Each structure stands twice: as structure tokens, then as C-alpha cells.
């Protein structure tokens, strides 16, 4: 069992997918399990999630300070971590598993480690993180909702015809598929991995 935690935009999923493919491991993404875990969790055991679900979008993301958001964000408080462990225990022992996601907090993973070198936390620099988000088309200023609408006849809701159009195949609303694969200007990182035994 191997663990990769760390901040958003650090490359956790990319590294985990590559290691899984290279070493014949099963890849478990905690991000992919979040919706399932939010449905399965008993809200009596998850007061921060219960409070979060009861909030409006503005109450979640606009009307609170960043400190309050961090202090009360259910996944950062460890709510639902037991469901990650349940999922992992249900997987077959062979092949081995590499789990990744921001929900893998050191204080939660440490008691489960078979060996100290079976876990790593990736902490991106601000520049690396911005490049990662820009490459996904999710950086502020690069998201479709941050761009002005294209000119055209107004729709009944007052927007132009292209405002809600999905990106073209092979590209993003910002342009061609230049964001796929290597991202210009991103620092190259090299990871040295010991053979999986």
C-alpha cells in the first residue's frame, strides 16, 4: 500500500497514474470517491459536512473568511477518511494499491503506514500550482466563466449564444488543445522511485 497526499495542483494524480502503470499497481483516487463518500457518510458522524451541505453556495464560498473555510472544511477535518479505508480494505491484496488525494492527511495516514517510505506528500510552489490549474483550464482568468461572452444575438437570459457552449473536441473554450500534455513554462520535476517489491 502506497500513499500520495498533498495540495491541489501538485501532480498527485499524474504521479499516481504513472507509478501504477509502471509498477502494475491499482490506482485509487480519493477525489473520484468524494461524491460517493458524501452520500454514504452518516451525517451524525460528520458535523462539518452536515453544516457544509446545509449552506448556500454564497455561504460556502463568499460569506466566510478563508480561515473559516479551512477550519471547517469537512475533508480537511478528516471526515470521511474511514470510508477511504473501507474502500481500500475491500480491494484485493494483489496487485498492490497506490492511493492519492488531498484527503490523505499525514496525521490520518501515518498510523496506517507499513513503512515510512510508503507515503509522500507533494507540496507545489505557487507557480507550479498555477501552471497546473492553467493547464487544466481551471485557473482564475482561464475558466470559461471568467471570459467575456462572445458577441452574438442575446438569449432570453441575457447571455450570448456561446456563453454556455462546451469546449470544442480536442480543445478548450480558450483555444486549441495546447493545454494537453506538456505545459509550456512549467518546471520539470523528476521523481526517483524504488522498485515495488
pTM higher than the cut 0.85: no
Question: What superfamily would CATH give domain 2-41+80-142?
Answer: P-loop containing nucleotide triphosphate hydrolases (3.40.50.300)
Partners of residue 3 on adjacent β-strands: 99, 119
pLDDT tens, per residue, the chain with 197 residues: 999 999 888 889 999 999 999 999 999 999 999 999 999 999 999 999 999 999 999 999 999 999 999 899 888 888 999 999 999 999 998 899 999 999 999 999 999 998 888 999 998 888 888 888 887 776 554 444 444 444 444 333 333 332 233 333 443 333 333 333 444 444 445 444 443 33
Q: Where are the domains of the chain?
A: 2-41+80-142
**Do 104 and 3 meet the contact criterion of CB atoms below 8 Å apart?**
yes
| Helix ranges, the chain (H) | 12-23, 30-40, 47-54, 57-61, 66-72, 81-90, 106-109, 126-136
Grid cell locating 64: 466566510
User: What burial class does residue 11 get, using C-beta atoms within 10 Å of its C-beta: 0-12 exposed, 13-18 middle, 19+ buried?
Assistant: buried
Amino acid at each position: 500500500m502506497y500513499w500520495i497526499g498533498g495540495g491541489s495542483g501538485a501532480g498527485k494524480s499524474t504521479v499516481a497514474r504513472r507509478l501504477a502503470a509502471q509498477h502494475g499497481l491499482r490506482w485509487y483516487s480519493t477525489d473520484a470517491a468524494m461524491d460517493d463518500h458524501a452520500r454514504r457518510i452518516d451525517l451524525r458522524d460528520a458535523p462539518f459536512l452536515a453544516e457544509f451541505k446545509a449552506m448556500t453556495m454564497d455561504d460556502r464560498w463568499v460569506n466566510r473568511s478563508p480561515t473559516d473555510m479551512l477550519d471547517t472544511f469537512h475533508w480537511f477535518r478528516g471526515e470521511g477518511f474511514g470510508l477511504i479505508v473501507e474502500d481500500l480494505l475491500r480491494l484485493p491484496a494483489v496487485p498492490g494499491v497506490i492511493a492519492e488525494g488531498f484527503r490523505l492527511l499525514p496525521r490520518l495516514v501515518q498510523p496506517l503506514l507499513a513503512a515510512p517510505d510508503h507515503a509522500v506528500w507533494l507540496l507545489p510552489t505557487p507557480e507550479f500550482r498555477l501552471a497546473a490549474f492553467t493547464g487544466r483550464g481551471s485557473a482564475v482568468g482561464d475558466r470559461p466563466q471568467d471570459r467575456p461572452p462572445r458577441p452574438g444575438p442575446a438569449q432570453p437570459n441575457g447571455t450570448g449564444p456561446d456563453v454556455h457552449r462546451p469546449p470544442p473536441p480536442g480543445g478548450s473554450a480558450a483555444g486549441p488543445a495546447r493545454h494537453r500534455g506538456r505545459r509550456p513554462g512549467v518546471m520539470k520535476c523528476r521523481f526517483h522511485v524504488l522498485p515495488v517489491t
